[in-house]
Amino acid sequence: MIPQQPVYLEDKVDEIRQSGRLDYRSQALPTWCPGCGYYSVTEGLANALNDLQIEKENTVVVSGIGCASRFPFFMDTYGFHTLHGRALPVATGIKVANEKLTVVAIGGDGDGFAIGGGHIPHAARRNVDITYILFDNGIYGLTKGQVSPTSAIGFKTSTSPFENRDAPLNPLLMLLSYGASWVGQTYAGWPHHLAGLVQQALEHPGFSYLHVLSPCVTFDKTDRTYQNLDLTVRELDSDHDSSDLALAMQAASDTRSPALGLYYTSQRETLGQALDQVALRAGAGG
């Protein structure tokens, strides 16, 4: 067997530039820790926007607080860096104000399921036509490694020195039960898979939720590492029916071997369409 020749980045520069992917990246270089899974998400979103030919001036990236909050600075689109846990209300307001915009909300497990947890069910049930990409590393990374709503039982952190005893939330089950019309899961260690699901989420007319398993390489050396996830993640069964909510919830219940792919999708009225109907009825005098 003839060994393959290594491919060096400098040999791919022209190809990358010609692809148009860099057009969606700002001049600011990401400041996450080396090896952080958030780099994969940055590339995945840039690739998806480029492949779908969504204009930069019609794209808005909204973030809250946490490591993920820096995301808008690294994209050459419009961006809002909002308050802790408030990315979804702001993203909803932007979409309602201008239906033509592609709105992407970004957050982490702390921002989304701790202080921001009360906003997710309402964005989902209203079927706001936005995409919510959540990076789940099971820890508070920006504030130096405290236990988060998705931290595993037995996890030692600065706020759980005698091991975490709180059962972690199951974000996929929560989103499915809240009525999200598109729910998927991917892994930062599978960048091509990630980029493909980001594109599907952007194309979906309604509230799309993409859960990204993303290791914290600085503060988690024991639980959700690349080494552990590489051994446990798998693709959803090839015969998985993404129109079956009960089947999706059953798949989401298996947290020991996280499945990657599109769990559930459905078509129903979006918030924008509902508001259009309200306006028509109001204009017609009820």
Are the C-beta atoms of 63 and 87 separated by less than 8 Å?
A: yes
What pLDDT, on the 0 to 100 scale, is given for residue 1?
A: 42
Q: Specify the CATH superfamily of domain 21-283.
A: Thiamin diphosphate (ThDP)-binding fold, Pyr/PP domains (3.40.50.970)
pLDDT > 60? residue 9: no
Query: pLDDT tens-digit profile of 74-131?
Result: 999 999 999 999 999 999 999 999 999 999 999 999 999 999 999 999 999 999 999 9
SS3 assignment, position 152: coil
What pLDDT, on the 0 to 100 scale, is given for residue 241?
A: 98
What pLDDT, on the 0 to 100 scale, is given for residue 30?
A: 87
Query: pLDDT tens-digit profile of 157-190?
Result: 889 999 999 999 999 999 999 999 999 999 999 9
Beta bridge partners of 106: 63, 133
Intra-chain end-to-end CA distance of the chain, in Å: 75
Query: pLDDT tens-digit profile of 270-279?
Result: 999 999 999 9
Local confidence band at 21 (pLDDT 50, 70, 90 cut-offs): confident
Query: What residue ranges do the domains of the chain occupy?
Result: 21-283
Across 34-43, average pLDDT: 92
pLDDT > 80? residue 2: no
The DSSP secondary-structure symbol of 2 reads P
Query: pLDDT tens-digit profile of 234-243?
Result: 999 999 999 9
Q: How far is residue 234's CA from residue 80's CA, in Å, rounded to a whole number?
A: 34
Cβ atoms within 10 Å of 101's Cβ, excluding its own: 20
Mean of all residue pLDDT scores within the chain = 92
What letter represents residue 181's amino acid? Answer: S
Length of the chain: 286
Structure tokens given for 98: 């201008």
Residue 216 dihedral angles phi and psi, to the nearest 5° = -95, 105
This prediction has a pTM of 0.92
Q: How far is residue 198's CA from residue 212's CA, in Å, rounded to a whole number?
A: 10
What pLDDT, on the 0 to 100 scale, is given for residue 8?
A: 54
What pLDDT, on the 0 to 100 scale, is given for residue 31?
A: 87
